[in-house]
Amino acid sequence: MVYQPPAGARDLLPLDVAQKRWIEDRLQQVFHQWGYHRIITSTLERLDTLMAGGAIQRSAVLQLQGLDEEDLGLRPELTASIARTVVTRIVDATYPLRLYYNANIFRRAQETSHTRQQEFYQAGVELLGSGGLLADAETLLLLMDCLQSLGLSQWSIVLGEAGLTRSLLSVFPSTIQSTVRQSIATLDRITLETLPMTESLRDRALLLLDLRGTPAEVLQKVSSLDLNPTQQAALDNLKSLIDLLQNTPDTGPQTPDSLVLDLSLIQTLDYYTGIVFEVVSDTANGRQVLGQGGRYDQLLGLYHPQGETAPGVGFALQIEQLHQAIALTNQSPQHIPTSDWLVVPASPQAATAAIAHAQKLRATSDQLRVELDLGGRTPAEIHDYAQHRQIAAIAWISPDGNVKVESVKLE
Amino acid sequence: MITVALPKGALLDDSIRLFQAVGLDFSAFLDKSNRQLQISDPTETAKALLVRAQDVPVYVEYGQAQLGVVGYDVLREKTPQVAQLVDLGFGGCRMSVAVKESSPYRSSLKLPLYGRVASKYVQCAREYFDALDLPVEIVPLYGSVELGPITGMAEAIVDLVSTGRTLKENGLVEIDVLYHSTARLIAHPLSYRLNADGIQTVIEQVRSLVLARV
């Protein structure tokens, strides 16, 4: 019989891994430069941990049965796990905590989605314990630094403010509020045009739906609304944030189009309380979301035994999407690394000497790749093999330890 | 360059006229000798893809087309993640339940438990009967659904009705309407958010044109 992988499973072969590592190494270096530390949490979580934030539906989680009938799930994202770990395991946390992760996540394929893929990879950060403007700015600038380190230049960040948008939605009667929210989240203008409501509410709904564009334009439009002090404060904060980003010369937005302010950017269900954002690549293959994130100031409290909360902000980058965007730039490795040396025992008696020579070569540099010929091949076959694998040097070892070096003319 | 996905079939003429009115001429698709599936308008400002109606939201969801025209019936059935922007007003029809004229069932609720209902719109039919809490077996068909009741395979059908002529000529009658459908202008959500290639201008032109017609 043929053993097939489950539908939606993917295997990564050595070249895929080399390219994935290329991305991850660069991201990791940026995370380190900004003072972030890696955290590894459990792949398996209790289902209630995963769903506590309210943004994850049971149907999206791949579930497993634990001991004692405990409902478990494979994590569909990392923020819930990190929030749980931080408030329950790091008792005397000195804030701010700067954490990053690089991990696999699992999502159950939905009936309506075109992909059957269930396992994905994400790298991201969580900056915990600081609610201020600078924490928001750091997160966005760090994100932009990540994109630059990967050599990506065609991208835009779509920035919203979930707290402000939610607050602007509170004028709608509770009977239609969730429909209005969902219609704005999914950009369904037709529903907003036909839903029964007063003309002034409809104007407000349609205004919210199209509250996007250059930051200056949008800020102008919002400030013309009748804002309460909380909304005004959120708007002022947003204004200061955009100033900070636009005045950071090397890392900040590269072109006027790379920062779009979009107050319709909300999810149908989420735990975001402040800024929210998506980073979108614009390549020959089309536009796609490379990553997303936002501020969640109430989430940690959900996991704390006494309900004490701490502010948090973070983002996750989708490694597969980065992979596709980078493939077009031809920067990541196009081949798996070749070995530098093939060490060949000239006869079975030369094995000890050959192993010793290979070790000696490996000791000269930790960059050197040295492989041992495992016997059973004629010298002609060994030459063919070296040629095929693009190994430039062969060391022929005789039983007395004599080394004959031959350089292979690679075709 | 903007790419527009246009549906083959009943909505094509109106869709092409609509874009012509906002300055994008894809009328080459109406030429009977045309075999091309992708064309540019003569001013080279936009491209159009000619695809099956069900495939319009697929191209738009993946972003290979930033805009598309498709019936609400398809959106309802496939629930794609696309921005629904303008009700274009043409292509009006209704999703209905129909039975044989001689059938004793005169409303959906009266259909027998575990009866068979044939439809191309499986998702939509299932949702409808689930909401009525009436367990029926949905038989998926790809065309000529009317044959279901005629041959006795199904008690009823759920299908799109525009003039009602096909039903009548096949001896069927409508007993309930699920919803009314018209053609809609849809957009790729990310392209819409980023106003990619200035699609907002085209959308606004289409919107004011449709409003002016009402």
CB B60 within 8 A of CB B80: yes
Summarised one tens digit per residue, pLDDT across range A82-125 is 999 999 888 777 899 999 999 999 999 876 667 788 899 999 99
Q: Cβ contacts (< 8 Å) between A156 and chain B: which residues? A: 194
| Min Cα–Cα distance to chain B from A42, Å | 32
Between strands A212-213 and A259-262, the pairing is antiparallel
A247 touches chain B (CB under 8 A): no
Q: Inspect the interface and report whether the beta carbons of B78 and A158 lie closer than 8 Å.
A: no
Summarised one tens digit per residue, pLDDT across range A282-326 is 877 778 999 999 999 999 999 998 888 999 999 999 999 999 999
CA-to-CA distance for B7 and A378, rounded, in angstroms?
64
Q: Which residue of A has its CA nearest to B187?
A: A187
The pTM score is 0.90
Spatial CA neighbour of B140 closest among B151, B162, B160, B125: B125
Q: State the CB neighbour count (10 A cutoff) for residue A352.
A: 12
CA-to-CA distance for A213 and A259, rounded, in angstroms?
9
CB B182 within 8 A of CB B90: yes
Coil, strand or helix: which one is A193? helix
DSSP letter for each residue of A142-187:
HHHHHHHHTT--SEEEEEEEHHHHHHHHTTS-HHHHHHHHHHHHTT
Q: Is residue A250 over pLDDT 80? A: no
Quote the tokens at residue A411: 């075709």
DSSP label at A111? T
pLDDT of A112: 66
CA-to-CA distance for A247 and A252, rounded, in angstroms?
7
Quote the tokens at residue A4: 């097939």
Cis omega (within 30 of 0) for bond into A348 = no
* % of chain A with per-residue pLDDT over 70: 98
Q: Is residue A249 over pLDDT 90? A: no
Q: Cβ contacts (< 8 Å) between A191 and chain B: which residues? A: 84
CA-to-CA distance for A80 and A53, rounded, in angstroms?
7
B59 touches chain A (CB under 8 A): no
Amino acid identity of B16?
I
Residue to substitute from B1, B85, B193, B199, interface A, most A β-carbons within 10 A: B193
| Min Cα–Cα distance to chain A from B39, Å | 19
Between strands B83-87 and B38-40, the pairing is unpaired
pLDDT of A267: 86
Q: Which residue of B has its CA nearest to A257?
A: B194
A217 touches chain B (CB under 8 A): no
Summarised one tens digit per residue, pLDDT across range B128-183 is 999 999 999 999 999 899 999 999 999 999 999 999 999 999 999 999 999 999 99
Spatial CA neighbour of A261 closest among A273, A282, A276: A276
